[in-house]
Amino acid sequence: MASIRTQPTVEQERAAALLTLGFNTTQAFLLAATRPGGNHVETAEVQRMLEAGCSHEMAVRILL
């Protein structure tokens, strides 16, 4: 039986980027999720927050 390969979703790609920024799996997928109306957290915005000294936990609290 051949395996079916699927392309990662946009949310999966965002979550992977957030994981590389040091978020745990739960945090990354919560931040990566698309909200009603198609809104989502921009990875670049999160990276700027972290570079400015914001902790991962605080970033999640602010953005969610």
Q: Give Cβ neighbours of residue 40 (< 8 Å, ≥ 6 apart).
A: 11, 14, 32, 33, 34
Q: Which of 18-22, 34-38, 40-44 has the highest mean pLDDT?
A: 18-22
| Model pLDDT, residue 5 | 64
Mean pLDDT of the chain: 92
Residue ranges of the domains in the chain? 10-63
Confidence of residue 1 (pLDDT cuts 50, 70, 90): low
The mean per-residue pLDDT over the stretch 32-58 comes to 94
Global pTM value:
0.84
